Structure 1
Amino acid sequence: MAGKATAEQVRVAVIGTGGIGGYFGGRLAAAGHDVRFVARGAHLEALRRDGLRVDSTAGGFAVAPVRATDDTRDIGEVDYVLLCVKTWQLPSAIAALKPLVGSDTAVVTFQNGVEAPSGWPRRSAAALSCRAPRRSSRTSTGRGACAMWAGPRRWRSRSGTTARPSV
């Protein structure tokens, strides 16, 4: 079970520890935040055994050891969920969100693909028994779509202090 983050830290769960989730989750972990990665199979075993290594034009880095699991119930409620799966993986990823989401949790999505099912934020909220945001920021970069779905406490830690992750 996840430990409690300090006032300076935010608790983050990353669902989809590929190129996007590994990069942003890794940057947050390297900055000292309490980050838990959700992965499966050989990818999960490699994370547990070797940690996370990112090669980037912005500067490579490594995080070891990495806190990784295949079961979101092992993590519990977090401040932020980074949902970094491909759009065709949304239904199973949304089903895995429930143990991570509390009344003050924000879910931030980084979708890889433009074929996301219409209305997925509202269906996600319904699956979690909460309200969807009134506004959603959705931009197209020509390389896919990116949407942000934020909860009521944007960039705040559980203690209520403002916390902007260093990425």
Structure 2
Amino acid sequence: MRYIIVGAGAVGGAVGGRLAQSGREVALVARGAHLDALRNTGLRLVTPQGEERLRIPSYAHHEDMGPLGAEDVLVLAVKSQDSEGLLRQWSLAPVLGGGTAGEVLPIVCAQNGVANERTALRHFRTVVGMTVWLPATHLEPGTVVAHCAPLTGILTLGHFPENGAESADSALLRQIAADLEASYFAAPVVPDVMRWKHGKLLNNLANALEALLGRSALAQGAGAEDLLAQVRAEGVAVLDAAGIPYNSEKERSVVQGERMRVVDIPEVDRAGGSTWQSLTRGGSVEADYLNGEIALLGRMHGVPTPLNDLLRHEVTRLALEGLPPGSVSADELRAMLGGARTA
């Protein structure tokens, strides 16, 4: 079994690097300067256990790889806004022995948000959802830092759509889980992975707030506790109105326990989350699929979501204007929020 990591950034690089360290066959797919660095000097994977340069075959497109193998597993680890085009391209890739990737290979959606699995099912017959708890950083070409120990992350797996019963490809999930658990991850296989992904969505609603205020300001409070509480409360109200189940923070903490703790790594600064990193690198942001998901569901079910609407708008504005994290204050957000309510 070969794992083809489509999107070898923070999450994809950490998963691919750890799998390669444990002796699994891995291929990385990246672009630009990151791809050049992977090809020239290898993946520099930094963890609390140490630093290693990993020589992993790296590609720009599936065309560079030739026909895919019948035992390959695709792991989609790009941001949600990039999913559609890549899913279409990779679904048409030829597979040795006949058929296309979309017809015969599984794809694992190792992504935040809850829209990717449904999008993937338009192109692939076998879709696996993955809830990603994996604090990692990718700001420098060729380098990925994974910050937790003793486990690097917890990656909850489940079929999509969920059938709640044993299915023909359950052996596939058991094998993926076994490979991940041999590679510094916990990988529970559950019948309700989308419930876990909706729980993670509630946590990810704060990503935009961190990006707007800046990591240090948010970590130190900066008088933003009311905003943090409101953004999650809107999400909970929307999911409840829509009848969408989600796991609780207590459930998550029981699974996590002391197995996954952020550890200081010498000479490595702890960066912000995925949206903070996107702004820092100067890329697009996935707020449309996080805060925007709550806004969409709120409109569908008649639940106001003023703060999620505002955060989605403002963090997208920062990305389009090339502004860095921390370009907005909590007071400015409150003023904008008040204006939106009275408009």
TM-score normalized by the length of structure 2: 0.36
Deviations along 1:39-74, one digit per CA (max 9) or x if unpaired, are 11221111100100111124332212x201111132
Secondary structure of the residue that 1:37 maps to in structure 2? strand
Matched, 1:92 2:111: no
**Conserved 8 A contact 2:109-2:130:** no
Give the whole-Å Cα distance in 1 for the aligned partners of 2:31 and 2:133: 29
Give the whole-Å Cα distance in 2 for the aligned partners of 1:109 and 1:164: 16
**Conserved 8 A contact 1:79-1:104:** no
**Conserved 8 A contact 2:111-2:130:** no
**Conserved 8 A contact 1:111-1:147:** no
Q: Which has the higher helix share?
A: 2
Secondary structure of the residue that 1:154 maps to in structure 2? helix
Aligned to 2:313: none
Code of the residue aligned with 1:111 in structure 2: it is Q
Aligned pair in 2 of structure 1 residues 96, 102: CA closer, same or farther (>3 Å)? closer
Kindly report which structure 2 residues correspond to 1:1-150, keeping only aligned pairs within 5 A, or say none.
10-64=1-55, 66-73=56-63, 74=65, 76-77=68-69, 78-98=71-91, 99=93, 101=101, 105-112=105-112, 114=113, 116-117=114-115, 120-128=116-124, 130=125, 148=157, 150=159
Give the whole-Å Cα distance in 1 for the aligned partners of 2:127 and 2:4: 20
Give the whole-Å Cα distance in 2 for the aligned partners of 1:55 and 1:137: 23
Code of the residue aligned with 1:72 in structure 2: it is H
Aligned to 1:7: none
CA displacement at 1:138 relative to structure 2? 5.2
| Alignment size in residue pairs | 142
CA displacement at 1:29 relative to structure 2? 1.2
Matched, 1:164 2:183: no
Matched, 1:154 2:150: no
Unaligned runs of 5+ in 1: 1-9
Secondary structure of the residue that 1:29 maps to in structure 2? helix
Relative contact order (C-alpha < 8 Å, sep 6+): which is higher? 1
CA displacement at 1:96 relative to structure 2? 3.3
Unaligned runs of 5+ in 2: 96-100, 135-154, 160-167, 184-343
Give the whole-Å Cα distance in 1 for the aligned partners of 2:78 and 2:2: 19
TM-score normalized by the length of structure 1: 0.67
CA displacement at 1:125 relative to structure 2? 2.0
Give the whole-Å Cα distance in 1 for the aligned partners of 2:87 and 2:51: 30
Code of the residue aligned with 2:60 in structure 1: it is D
Give the whole-Å Cα distance in 1 for the aligned partners of 2:40 and 2:5: 18
Q: Over aligned residue pairs, what C-alpha RMSD do you find?
A: 3.3
Code of the residue aligned with 2:51 in structure 1: it is G
Secondary structure of the residue that 2:122 maps to in structure 1? helix
Give the whole-Å Cα distance in 2 for the aligned partners of 1:156 and 1:124: 21
